[in-house]
Structure 1
Amino acid sequence: MLPLPAWGPVAYITLLAVIAPAALMGLWRRRGARRLAAGTHVLITGGSKGLGLALARQCAQRGCSVTVVARSQPDLDAALQQLREAAVAGGAERAGQRLQALSADTADPAKLKKMLAEAESTAGPVNVLICNAGFSAPGLFVEQGPEVHERQMRVNYLGTVHTVQAALPGMLERRQGRIVLVASTMAVLGFAGYSSYAPSKWAVRGLADCLHNELQGTGVHISVAYPPDTDTPGYATEMETKPALCKAVNAALGSELFSAEKVAKALLGGIEAGNYHLPSPDFGQNLLVSSMTGLSPKRFWLPLEMLLGPFMPLITSLFGWIADRAARRHNEAHGMPPRAYPVD
């Protein structure tokens, strides 16, 4: 056996202080891990298109029972057909698998509770709830009235609150479940064009942190997702109104557009691993999440977080400098004349 190095007591205590939390963090991150397979009922709001539908398809391929929720019945009918095709393509044993598409508006708590009861009567208790419904309406702050801010907060944040409140009591009674709150890259940063959107997603992230702590020991676990720019119908709509200043800053930061399937695969992998901060295919974004974890579990393995620690202020400051320089150059070249807020 190799002899221990001749360190003093302080050195050994310091080493223990580093290793012990790292080991405990590894166990903590795995609490609530659950393989998404046959017998798992996954309910996804905003599940008829885009990222929500990609998540639903991949769950169906795994043999999960899947309920997708949205407002448009034609979109739901088309989504249900895709889920059936995905289930067949999965080729796994899927006895008892249930696939359903139900109409509900996350702004209506009463209809949400009715929908949840219908979903569970067919497919059993919801094991994994993914709160994905939301939208972005980019625009400059000086050009958007308060109603634009109110609508995004109502859909993106309060819609998430209503959905969680509908499903949480049953999960607590069963002492089992995972709730995934889909935030955004804009929940850890903010720049021109997203003053009405980013706050709604920061609110979702804040809700996730509070629930993560509040539900300790209950058997119900929380995850939060930060999808990057994703190639979806919602993103295409967003691009129609995105200001030139917003596009300039986005381009300066080197944003990459990812496929919905790639983003969904990363998120589902994180759910199965029992992670709190779900991974993104954008590594730079994962670094930003790491720098913004607060009291919640860290994004990376704790020793790696400690190694990154001294460099994160430099990295985040560089991102901030790039964004500010891009905005300044655009405004100097094109001007930003003061404008009155829209009035009804």
Structure 2
Amino acid sequence: MYSSVCSLGCPVLTKQLGAHITLFSRRSDPLDKAREEVTLACASKDQDVNTVMVDMGDDQEVKEAFESQSRPADILYCAAGGNYDQNGFFVDLTAKDLENCMRNNYFSAAYAAKIMMHIWLTEDASVVKPTHQRHREIIFINSCAAFLGLPGSIAYTTSKTAVRALAHTLRMEVLRHNCADSKYSIHIAFPGDFVSPGFMKEQQTKVPLNKKIQGLEQPIEQLLHKFPTSDKVASLIVRAADRGDFIICEDSFAANALFSNMLGPSPKRGWGVFDALMSPLMGWIVIPYLR
């Protein structure tokens, strides 16, 4: 399994998947910390834990890093991103801020998925055939910010909306590549706020209006009790991906409700009952009232 390093429960991923894992990040400190946590969480001494320092927003660096691995991954978690440095109103942001936010959140996911798909399809085309069908998965860790434009998060919301569009389209395109050798699936998670180092840093740069709308005006101690931990969110995402869910909004009722108001081309979840009932309620009553 390959994963870009973020604040999202890497030890949980390791425990639940029991996989060899390679972590990618452009900064050494998060990599070292993640490696230590993942190593301690390994269920078996046979699990390999590797780290690679790479700028996930640079397609050439990602290509070289992925292709240099000793084994291709079967699961790719695209979890890089954040908006600590790009919080603010549109008129106050620079063009570079907008570019960097898109690079950190959208291109880091798009490049990783693109290059991994190329590696997988090249392997499918080789003369060496697997003994059983491989299941290849890409899981995009997005944000429920993609469902709601909030003042002060305009750069972040735009980039996360782009990731959603990427996952939707790629979900249909990979159907062309299913074969006897490999089966492909795409998943995308939309977690709400959860407690992590990134969450703590973002509170320092969010504008007051954004905090008020999101209910983040309380002291940090209260916020720590209000939101789930990164390990909890990671555990829910892994279980949902194992079930085969495409849309994953497991960590909060708010994320579920917001998604039902922004169904678009997304398939309804489960039997579709919750989304079918919640969608008109959100569209006709809740959102007009809040707006």
Q: Same fold (TM over 0.5)?
A: yes
Q: Specify the SS of the correspondent of 1:228.
A: coil
- 1:265 equivalent in alignment to 2:265: no
> Cα distance 1:304–1:228, how it changes in 2: closer, same or farther (>3 A)?
closer
Amino acid at match of 1:78: K
Q: Which residue of 1 aligns with 2:14?
A: 60
Q: 1:313, 1:307 → 2: CA distance? A: 11
Q: Which residue of 2 aligns with 1:312?
A: 282
Give the share of equivalent positions with the same residue, in percent. Answer: 28
Q: Which residue of 2 aligns with 1:192?
A: 151
Q: Which residue of 2 aligns with 1:117?
A: 67
Q: 1:131, 1:265 → 2: CA distance? A: 16
Match of 2:27 among 72, 79, 83: 72
Match of 2:7 among 45, 50, 55: 50
Deviations 1:26-81 (A, max 9, x none): xxxxxxxxxxxxxxxx2111x2x511xx1x21122232111111112233222212
Match of 2:93 among 139, 144, 148: 144
Q: Specify the SS of the correspondent of 2:248.
A: coil
Q: 2:276, 2:104 → 1: CA distance? A: 37
Q: 1:74, 1:132 → 2: CA distance? A: 17
- 1:229 equivalent in alignment to 2:193: yes
> Cα distance 1:301–1:78, how it changes in 2: closer, same or farther (>3 A)?
same
TM-score (ref. length: structure 1): 0.72
TM-score (ref. length: structure 2): 0.84
Q: 1:319, 1:285 → 2: CA distance? A: 14
Q: Which residue of 2 aligns with 1:275?
A: 245
Q: 1:278: how far off?
A: 1.4
Count of residue correspondences: 267
Conserved in 2, the CA contact under 8 Å of 1:141 and 1:193? yes
Q: Which residue of 1 aligns with 2:174?
A: 215
- Structure 1 unaligned spans of 5+: 1-41, 325-344
Deviations 1:232-268 (A, max 9, x none): 1111221111111111111299995221111111111
Deviations 1:145-188 (A, max 9, x none): 22211110122111211111110122234464111112111111
Q: 1:95: how far off?
A: 6.5
Q: 1:128, 1:162 → 2: CA distance? A: 15
Alignment of 1:1-344 (within 5 A): 42-45=1-4, 47=5, 49-51=6-8, 54=9, 56-62=10-16, 63-87=18-42, 90=43, 94=44, 96-119=46-69, 121=70, 124-136=71-83, 137-172=86-121, 173-174=123-124, 176-217=135-176, 218=178, 219-251=183-215, 256-314=226-284, 317-319=285-287, 321-322=289-290, 324=291
Runs of 4+ in 1 over 4 A off after TM superposition: 252-256
Q: 1:235, 1:86 → 2: CA distance? A: 23
Conserved in 2, the CA contact under 8 Å of 1:289 and 1:299? no
Q: 1:178, 1:253 → 2: CA distance? A: 38
Q: 1:320: how far off?
A: 5.1
Amino acid at match of 1:73: S
Amino acid at match of 1:235: F
Amino acid at match of 2:230: A
Q: 1:253, 1:286 → 2: CA distance? A: 23
Report the aligned-residue RMSD. Answer: 2.3
Q: 2:140, 2:30 → 1: CA distance? A: 22
Larger Rg: 1
Q: 1:304, 1:158 → 2: CA distance? A: 33
Q: Which residue of 2 aligns with 1:16?
A: none
Q: Specify the SS of the correspondent of 1:196.
A: helix
Conserved in 2, the CA contact under 8 Å of 1:135 and 1:155? yes
Q: 2:153, 2:288 → 1: CA distance? A: 15
- Structure 2 unaligned spans of 5+: 125-133
Conserved in 2, the CA contact under 8 Å of 1:70 and 1:102? yes
